[in-house]
Chain A
Amino acid sequence: NAGVTQTPKFQVLKTGQSMTLQCAQDMNHEYMSWYRQDPGMGLRLIHYSVGAGITDQGEVPNGYNVSRSTTEDFPLRLLSAAPSQTSVYFCASSRLAGAYEQYFGPGTRLTVT
């Protein structure tokens, strides 16, 4: 099993550009989520999905879109990048939502200039 994979590892964007952060898992997990990690702020939930076709907003959803067309993939889209979106992004998955271990990907470091 590869676990949770994320691409790219690093990305630099100019303000206003769009891009998609990719996340995939091969563990047949129903629950997937995206977090951003900023110094002193911990892990803040952006969006999450309890299964294919179902997504919901987390704590900081503004400026981000998600979709879940398959169980394996959960891409995060930045429609118009802003410097405030400079952060490290982590994707995670677990067997079900709630009381199950989450497996995190290696992260994507995004810089918006």
Chain B
Amino acid sequence: GENVEQHPSTLSVQEGDSAVIKCTYSDSASNYFPWYKQELGKGPQLIIDIRSNVGEKKDQRIAVTLNKTAKHFSLHITETQPEDSAVYFCAASKTSYDKVIFGPGTSLSVIP
């Protein structure tokens, strides 16, 4: 089955700097890659996703890149702010009627 790895497990950056989180997946048939943000005491929420027919997607300060050949994808957060501090999860699935498998998560701390 699918296996998703994620690095680093913890990340500290100064406010205003960029943060990058990287994930790899094992199943070459996976073609949907969402990223979720979990704030303390809450359930995860989708922040951005990418499908396999696209190499990069941006939404304001957040971008995701996908390399299908290497089976890895990354989350980039620019101009980080204290409210970006949270746990971030990557995930992978196939498009139809398939379960979603999550990576182990990255705890991001943005230092004011």
Interface centre among B32, B44, B49 (most CB of A within 10 A): B44
Tell me, rounded to whole Å, the shortest Cβ–Cβ distance linking B48 to chain A.
11
Q: Are A43 and B105 in contact (CB under 8 A)?
A: yes
A2 within 8 A of B: no
Are A104 and B96 in contact (CB-based, < 8 A)?
no
Interface residues in A, total, Cβ within 8 A: 26
Q: What's the Cα separation between A35 and B102 when bound, in Å?
A: 10
Report the count of interface residues on B (CB-CB < 8 A): 28
Residue numbers of B with Cβ under 8 A of A are 1, 6, 9, 31-32, 34, 36, 42-46, 49, 51, 89, 93-105
Shortest Cβ distance from residue A94 to the other chain B in the assembled complex, whole angstroms: 8
Chain B: minimal CB distance from A76 (Å): 15
Chain B residues positioned under 8 Å from A107 (CB to CB)? 42-43
Is A12's CB within 8 Å of the partner chain B? no
Interface centre among A4, A96, A97, A105 (most CB of B within 10 A): A97
**CB < 8 Å: which of A59, A98, A101, A102 contacts B98?**
A98
* B93 pairs with A42, CB closer than 8 A: no
CB atoms of A104 and B43 under 8 A apart: yes
Q: List 14 A-B contacts (CB under 8 A).
A: A42-B6, A42-B102, A43-B44, A45-B102, A90-B43, A90-B44, A97-B97, A99-B32, A99-B95, A99-B96, A101-B34, A102-B34, A102-B100, A106-B42
Chain A contact residues, CB within 8 Å of chain B: 4, 33, 35, 40-45, 48, 50, 56, 58-59, 90, 92, 96-99, 101-102, 104-107
Asked whether, in the complex, the Cβ of B45 is within 8 Å of the Cβ of A104, the reply is: yes
Given the known interface contacts A42-B89, A45-B101, A56-B99, the answer about A101 and B46 at a Cβ–Cβ threshold of 8 Å is yes
* Known contacts A97-B96, A98-B96; is-contact A59 B101 (Cβ 8 Å): yes
